[in-house]
Chains A and B, each alone.
Chain A
């Protein structure tokens, strides 16, 4: 049988993406289903019993630590996302100015993304903060439950927020790409009509930047819910005492060896993160469509 050019292309492109498909089976689908299966079990070293949705029920209805760490993690996200977005937008506007030597400033502002790993950040961090707060001590007194006061919460959040914002370069570059995609003639026209800088920021820049804002939002949601905790972890000298959700899961799975329960709560968290990302995407798309149809 002779294959047509089109059929050949289909087969060949499946072969081309086959590494990813094989990878997905081994490193994505299997682990996901494994942990899903695990989440319905009461797991122990000498045999597991099937308890259905018992783990989920326990987490949602009885476990105060679950709600506590979830609240802290989501609360941190709620605070850090607007700050990160605003800061990166301001930086992008700054480095979008057409003045001499602006390339140098772009290089410098992006530098921490490259140079400062989680470990490096957490090693340098205390040095910068030593005059403000001792983050590690805060983390220690903070502990697993909110037994200390709101002051500790504020200092912990602000410390991690500042350390996280130090590496805001990617978001800055996304906004910068957006700013550069805007036709300068629009600004010139606005200027002729007598619009101030501030006015054209709100009437031209912000609406035209919207698609880039969406991508930035989704990226920042993922970043602040999942990745930020490694900094906290290293700041706590590697001990799983931070109030963030990932450490809660770690304590359950690797210290109390309740693997089934750990899998259940991480699935709950996975669901929350995905719905947050989808909601962000959905609402901003709707906003985009409304905006574009009004145009």
Chain B
């Protein structure tokens, strides 16, 4: 008798909780699993209503067939180059600026920091026309400069958040370290480079990992500024190569006629995979990013 009551009181809420959690996990994973499963189906399997999760024939050809219409080699290399350079720029510039905001004692510091954060509110599309004219005059259209140069000047994707993160992390480090180093004759920037930056390793990793995802998935700007295969990033290639109805600027020469729906899902999976793998191995840094910012500032 007692054991039943015990079960009801202590085990069933837990069971209920697990059911909820598993339900939630299924909802969040369903689209990704679904596209992965479709990507290994043949067209017949996809059309067959009796096949939902387990295909009759394993068809890995989709992955090979879709590489050509995706211009996979070019777009993958482009995106990798763009992403890695921009991560470097984003980490360096936001660490330096964040350090200035944390260790500097100059007038107007707090106001300027508010301005940095306030730039987040500006809808990116407001700046699109002036950017287009600016980049056109600098001859930057269809070059990776469109992303690389801003990232080195603290104007990468979500750069205000990165600057803020670095500032918060530097704020938590003891100022005595700087005093000691200054007595030993270290300059401001030597303190930054040799003492504080190595101590802020977790922030470097966090900013780098998030930037990877942001740049890898970038779409809104590249669709306006990139018009040739030469700079085609993978997110755009996913759109133009597999979507026959897609209206875009310069990529009409790509031939989407032969792409089947399972092939399209293979392309989606290929595009997601690098971010997915990176996340699975480094999820700790993604999930603790908010705690690092420590919201109280």
Chain A residues within CB distance 8 Å of chain B: 5-6, 8-10, 12-17, 19-20, 22-24, 26-28, 30-32, 34-35, 38, 91, 94-95, 97, 99, 102, 104-120, 123-125, 127-128, 166, 170, 173-174, 176-178, 180, 211-212, 215, 222, 225-226, 230, 234, 237-239, 246, 249-250, 253, 259, 262-263, 266-267, 269-270, 273-274, 277
Contacts and interface: CB of A to CB of B under 8 A. Distances in A.
Contacts of B18: 99
A105 B286 CA distance: 14
Given A19-B154, A238-B247, A273 B123 contact: yes
Contacts of A28: 119, 122, 127, 155
A115 B125 CA distance: 24
A237 B295 contact: no
Contact of A35 (B24, B34, B129): B129
6 contacts: A13-B103, A13-B105, A118-B219, A120-B272, A128-B31, A177-B295
A173 B142 CA distance: 37
Contacts of A17: 96-97, 100-101, 104, 112
A176 B122 CA distance: 27
Nearest to B116: A20
Q: Which of A6, A17, A31, A215 has the most CB of B within 10 A?
A: A17
B276 A16 contact: no
Contacts of A249: 125
A124 B20 CA distance: 24
Given A119-B235, A239-B247, A16 B93 contact: no
Given A31-B130, A110-B287, A116-B31, A94 B38 contact: no
Contacts of B194: none
A20 B272 CA distance: 32
Contact of B104 (A16, A124, A259): A16
B276 A9 contact: no
Contacts of A174: 290, 295
Contacts of A112: 28, 31-32
Interface string B267-297: 0100110011011100100110111000110
Given A16-B96, A35-B126, A238-B248, A6 B121 contact: no
Interface of B: 14, 17-18, 20-21, 24-25, 28-32, 34-35, 38, 93, 96-97, 99-101, 103-107, 112, 116, 119-131, 133-134, 150, 152-155, 163, 182, 187-189, 192, 213, 216-220, 223, 235-236, 238-239, 242-243, 245-248, 264-265, 268, 271-272, 275-276, 278-280, 283, 286-287, 289-291, 295-296
Nearest to A9: B105
A225 to B, nearest CB: 7
Contacts of B287: 106-107, 110, 173
Contact of B130 (A35, A180, A250): A35
Contacts of B123: 225-226, 246, 266, 269-270, 273
Nearest to A240: B247
Contacts of A237: 243, 245-247
A12 B186 CA distance: 13
Given A10-B107, A120-B271, 11 more contacts: A9-B104, A32-B122, A95-B21, A106-B287, A108-B24, A115-B32, A119-B219, A120-B268, A125-B31, A226-B123, A263-B129
A19 B154 CA distance: 7
Contact of B213 (A27, A102, A114): A114
A23 B153 contact: yes
Contacts of B286: 110, 114
A27 B93 CA distance: 15
B17 A177 contact: no
CB-CB nearest 7 A-B residue pairs:
A13-B104, A23-B153, A117-B217, A16-B100, A31-B130, A12-B188, A20-B154
B154 A222 contact: no
A127 B105 contact: no
Given A20-B153, A270-B123, A105 B25 contact: yes
B194 to A, nearest CB: 15
A118 B81 CA distance: 21
A281 to B, nearest CB: 10
Contacts of A166: 28, 31
B220 A118 contact: yes
Nearest to B291: A177
A6 B196 CA distance: 19
